[in-house]
Amino acid sequence: MVVKPFALAALLLTIAGAVWAGPWTRARGTSYSKFAASYLYTRSEYDAAGNQVPILTSNPLVKSAAYRDVSLSCYVEYGIRDNLTLVATLPFKILTSQRTELSSDATLEREVDVTNAGLADLWVGLRRALRRGRYPIAIEAGIKAPLGYDRTPDNGGPALGTGYADAEFALSAAYGARHAYAVARAAYRVYGGDLDNAAGLSAEVGAHRDPLFAKLQLDVWTSSGEIIPLDVSSTTVVSNQDVTTLVTALGARASERVSLALEVYHVLAGKNVATGTTVALALILTR
């Protein structure tokens, strides 16, 4: 029997969307680095109609399935000029598909546990400040480049990404007070491959009182194309999707240049995306 790789499109959107911060740029020669370790385990997904169902329920050869994502990532901002910041993120992923497969006559079962690991997609972009101060506004542009992984692994395990280059353009604005801030962001993502482009809206609020800081963020991505059920006989790794994600974070400053944070990414709703909650621990360094 052959089971095609399961597409966990939710994380592709969530992680990519998390690359961008607010409209603030770094001062020339200064940097912000975040090193994070994250974990997700899920046994369900949102189908093309937005209903929560077991993973791979549409495949008659799969009795049950689960997915695990353990990731290490590095996110960096560097001030090229006071009004221009380089932004980049690089994840290393360990993705595991666990499933109980059935024979064609459904009389035999076998347990399958397949893992694929490696560098996923490099995101690189620029943030250009249009306005600074209490009411900053910025435009952003970036590209995603796959780093040589197999988009349709021969072992039937999860692919590390779509395998195609993408581009993203965004406009963000914020209000900053002494101990709080709010950010609004609109983005448009141009996908390579067979995926239709997608539009994203994001709202974020945060507060800080030394040494603690916290934030709450809502991300909504909507595909411009038709969302249809995944074809289990196809080698397509991902399909058009919608996804709504809630991000919460709580952190503390350990020293002038070092902070620690706990981040939680929860998929609230979607279509053709995985359900679940990703938990991440982050080390933040500023210079």
Question: 231: pLDDT confidence band, cut at 50, 70 and 90?
Answer: low
The chain-wide mean pLDDT, for the chain, equals: 87
Query: Cβ distance 130 to 85 under 8 Å?
Result: no
pLDDT at 238: 65
Task: Find the mean pLDDT for residues 171-176.
Answer: 94
DSSP 6: P
pTM of the model: 0.87
Task: Find the mean pLDDT for residues 32-55.
Answer: 92
Find out whether the peptide bond into 211 is cis, omega within 30 degrees of 0: yes
Query: H/E element holding 16?
Result: helix 9-17
Closest by Cα among 22, 42, 17, 47 to 32: 22
pLDDT at 237: 52
Closest by Cα among 171, 190, 213, 158 to 40: 158
pLDDT digits (tens, 9 = 90+) for 143-173: 999 998 988 888 878 888 888 999 999 999 9
Indicate whether 71 pLDDT > 50: yes
CATH of 9-286, one of 3.40.50.1980, 3.40.50.280, 2.40.160.40, 1.10.10.10: 2.40.160.40
Tell the residue number behind the tokens 């609020």, with chain if given: 205
Query: H/E element holding 15?
Result: helix 9-17
Give the rounded percent of residues in the chain with a pLDDT score beyond 90: 63
Helices vs. strands in the chain: H and E counts, helices first: 1, 16
pLDDT at 232: 54
User: Does residue 5 or residue 175 have the better pLDDT?
Assistant: 175
DSSP-assigned states of every residue in 136-181: -EEEEEEEEEE-S--SS-TTS---SS-SS-EEEEEEEEEEE-SSEE
Indicate whether 230 pLDDT > 50: yes
pLDDT at 120: 93
Whole-angstrom distance between the N-terminal and C-terminal Cα of the chain?
A: 54
What CA–CA distance (Å, rounded) separates 230 from 197? Answer: 17
Of the given ranges (128-137, 155-164, 177-186, 235-244), which has the lowest mean pLDDT? 235-244
pLDDT at 77: 96
pLDDT digits (tens, 9 = 90+) for 244-282: 999 999 999 999 999 999 999 999 999 988 899 999 999
Of the given ranges (16-25, 30-39, 229-238), which has the lowest mean pLDDT? 229-238
pLDDT at 112: 83
Task: Find the mean pLDDT for residues 106-135.
Answer: 90
What CA–CA distance (Å, rounded) separates 245 from 10? Answer: 9
- The edge-to-edge listing of strands for the beta sheet with 44-46 is 52-54, 44-46, 273-274
pLDDT at 124: 96
Of the given ranges (3-17, 23-37, 91-105, 225-239), which has the lowest mean pLDDT? 3-17
pLDDT at 62: 77
Question: 18: pLDDT confidence band, cut at 50, 70 and 90?
Answer: very low
pLDDT at 7: 46
Indicate whether 219 pLDDT > 90: yes
User: Does residue 189 or residue 102 have the better pLDDT?
Assistant: 189
Indicate whether 1 pLDDT > 70: no
